[in-house]
Amino acid sequence: MDFSLTPQQEMLRDTVRRFFQTEVAPIARVCDDEERFPKEMIRQWGDLGLIGIRYPEEDGGSGFDKLGECLAREEMSRVSQAFASTWSVQAHMGLWPIWRSGTAEQKAKYFAPGLRGELVSCFGLSEPEGGSNIRALRTRATKVPGGYRISGSKMYITNSPIADFVLLAARTRPELTPEAVSLFIVELPNPGIVIHKMAKEGIRASETGLLHIDEAFVPDEALLGGQEGTYPIILECLSENRVGVAANCVGMAQGALDAAIAYARDREVGGKRIGHYQAIAHKLADMAAQIEAARWLVYYGAWRIEQNTLDAATAAKVKLTASECALHVTEQAIRIHGGAGIMRDHAVGRFHRDAFVYVIGEGTSEIQRNIIARSLSL
């Protein structure tokens, strides 16, 4: 197990860092204030090959492994988790299932343009009553001549207000079984789908929507892979994404630590910089140690994915550790800033609001602990 970075991985990390520092950092605060995402940036990501980081070169991607993806995610979130979240849904949740099991026609029509940033994707799983519990899915797809009629609701759907299509999860059979769950590629806008943009306290620049679906018609060719029962694909997508989200959490924590260190070097109280006071220095030391521990656990999770040995408990450990680390570190960064920490002029408050999202989203910390506990044979 060797986590030494290759020259190619270092180049990827530096490219993402440079882009986010020069193109995203100057607009991160105003986009957060206005709760909007500049859609044209997705095309820029496509031009740079950033959407296809994880996909094979023969399929139009850049050919990096999961560790490469995690390096990129960390650099994105170090500047803005809202922009990183938009990227994550575009690059992974909205395209990976199509790459994994779509027909040749679906890949040509949606996956390839998605990699180039010409089409914006989103993933419609979570619902108002059952959340992301696939077994509680209520959205129904009824077979009709030439296609399906879909009815239901979807909630907290990242990118949906700006998306050109949604990968929509629906039951194609009455019974509540995994085999009854299928994915559809639904082009937007659709006369049967109304999208309401939701206001959030965290990752505000990442546009999120509530979908009301009323007898929305989709043709037969919208069914992912041309077959019903794509539950395993959803599970694979979600499990692998937890490691990616953990990398995002490490990035948020690192961004907050960067800001806290800079403030501790500049701020003077009682004739000396506050970083020279042991109380502040020890906080920063603990934060740095916690981030490093979480980072290496993320790298281990990425390695397990490449070995095809990632299990649910390991993914849960990675996500739990990194998300709780981000929440704690961002809070400590605010404390180090004192009164300045709650001012909009400083990014640490935004980092903390964003970190809160990930002890809830992608599976709450309590759910992660349940998964881990089940693996202990108690």
Helix axes 312-337, 231-266, angle to 10 degrees: 20
> What's the CATH number where 210 sits?
2.40.110.10
Burial of 215 (0-12, 13-18, 19+ CB in 10 A): exposed
Convert the pLDDT of each residue in 230-255 to its tens digit: 888 888 888 889 999 999 999 999 99
Does 306 lie in the same domain as 244? yes
Does the pTM of the predicted model rise above 0.85?
Answer: yes
* CA-to-CA separations, 230 to 59, 153, 170, 224, 226, in angstroms, rounded: 22, 19, 10, 8, 10
Give which of 161, 82, 51 is closest to 351, Cα–Cα: 82
Burial of 360 (0-12, 13-18, 19+ CB in 10 A): middle
Q: 328 and 256 in contact (C-beta within 8 Å)?
A: no
Does 225 lie in the same domain as 238? no
Residue 337 has phi, psi (to 5 degrees) of: -75, -20
Range of the domain at 348: 232-374
Whole-angstrom distance, CA of residue 141 vs CA of residue 125? 14
Convert the pLDDT of each residue in 167-216 to its tens digit: 999 999 988 777 889 999 999 999 999 999 999 999 999 999 999 999 99
Convert the pLDDT of each residue in 269-327 to its tens digit: 988 999 999 999 999 999 999 999 999 999 999 999 999 999 999 999 999 999 999 99
Does 128 lie in the same domain as 111? no
Is 34 one of the catalytic residues? no
Q: Which of 180, 206, 229 is the last residue of a domain?
A: 229
Q: Which of 174, 205, 229 is the last residue of a domain?
A: 229
Does 204 lie in the same domain as 159? yes
Residue at 11 is within a domain: yes
Q: Which residues contact 111 (CB under 8 A, 6 or more apart)?
A: 59, 60, 95, 98, 99, 102
Residue at 1 is within a domain: no
- Catalytic residue, from 40, 118, 362, 366: name it: 362
